[in-house]
Structure 1
Amino acid sequence: MYKLKGSRFNRVNPVQLLWRVFRVLASILILLIVVLAVSTAVTVLRSGDDNFVPPVLPLTVNDVSKLNAVRVGQVIRPESIADVQAALASTTGRVSIGGGRFSQGGQTAYPDSVHLDMRSFNKVLNIDTAAKTVTVQPGIRWRDLQAAIDPHNLAIKIMQTYANFTVGGSLSVNVHGRYIGEGPLVGSVLGLKLLLADGSVIDASPDTNADIFYGAIGGYGGLGVIVEATLQLEDNIAVERRVRVMATEDYA
């Protein structure tokens, strides 16, 4: 192919010509897409109901099994007793409480309830190394409590096998211990603070408000919300395991 340039004929590569045509068409297409996108955005922004309120997606709370999803009305993450009081004052309906959510079978949530997610309510309030006691907020995990007391050469007296449960959850179900000569968790609890439905806070221990104390530990939150607990600790000593094989008839 040739084109006239002045008085001379110059040869034009067909491939180059096609590429130029393609670039022009592509530029036009891109421009059209941009114009269409801008016009669509303007149309969407300027249209619709000014009073439209987008729907609120349902909140779902599940336990670690992922088999017991429950739709709750609201999830509140308290960080203080005042936050829990405000949450209870905000509703006249059901309230559910969750920590590590290891209680399977629907215990951690209730349909349409105000759900208290206690995992941000997780401070160590006091460590008394002389008396070997610790006071904590209920959302703390046992593993975090262990990390706090280990520098003092102290250990937890009673707890379950897994350390990622929360203290409040363990108290609420009165977990069984696995330590030699010790029973369930209640045996190491010196006292607790319980927040009742009316927003009042009471102290309970084996000697003070004992009926409430023993009702709250293992009560699955039925009496109130545990907002503080004081636990007995022990010296951090190694435990030696000894194994002896015996006949079955000699076991008793």
Structure 2
Amino acid sequence: MDKVVTNAAAAVADVPDGASLAVGGFGLSGVPNVLIEALHEAGPGGLSVVSNNCGVDGGGLGILLEAGQIVRVTGSYIGDNKTFARKYLAGEVEVELIPQGTLAERLRAGGCGIPAFYTPAGVGTPVAEGGLPWRYGADKSVEVSSRPKEVREFDGTPYVLERGIRTDFALVRARRGDRHGNLVFGKASRNFNPLAAMAGRVTVAEVEELVDALEPDEVHLPGVFVQRVVELTPEQAADKGIEKRTVRA
């Protein structure tokens, strides 16, 4: 039952080339930066990542992206990541952009063993009808685009069929965790982290505080979804970036 791993490097050492990963976080909040850095140092390539966004320039998943370790991203937001935008438009990375709520539900469904579900989000748009550019060519032409999805009517309302997501691995960050893999997420870090953790066949959690056992009523995500736990140092736990700093003159 003790799922604690000695360090982040050991926790991601078996992630192979071509693996798929669900990664928690939203912007700079709740990003498993220590595990991402360990994966960068381990060096696997050809990775397919499922995450709300692909980090920022020089941070989070942006480190793997800049190093050329990521070849495909499923997400809902490019944001201010100039490297991500450049690589996508240059055809260096394939990108599947989907509605944010649909992404969350696809991860949850995959973790619950639900192969697919119907949602009204995206009906009547290229999300359902196909044609969204996934990969550009060197000449800026669209080499790969999304395919049409099944649309079915329920009680007079059309819904599009979306598939649940399962990945080989998941990387998440939690405020507290115990040796059994039960996790508690702090404030805004309770964003995509629980959903990403559910979707991974092997889920690795970095925790800011490790305890022997959490009280059942505290638990946000049960340990059945988590296979490995890495305790952060106080310095690692405190290292939290600010995406945009605004001050008065």
Same structural fold, with TM-score higher than 0.5 when normalized by the shorter chain: no
TM-score normalised to structure 2 length: 0.23
Q: Which has the higher contact order (CA 8 A, sep 6+)?
A: 2
TM (norm. structure 1) is 0.23
- Higher share of residues assigned helix: 1
Larger Rg: 1
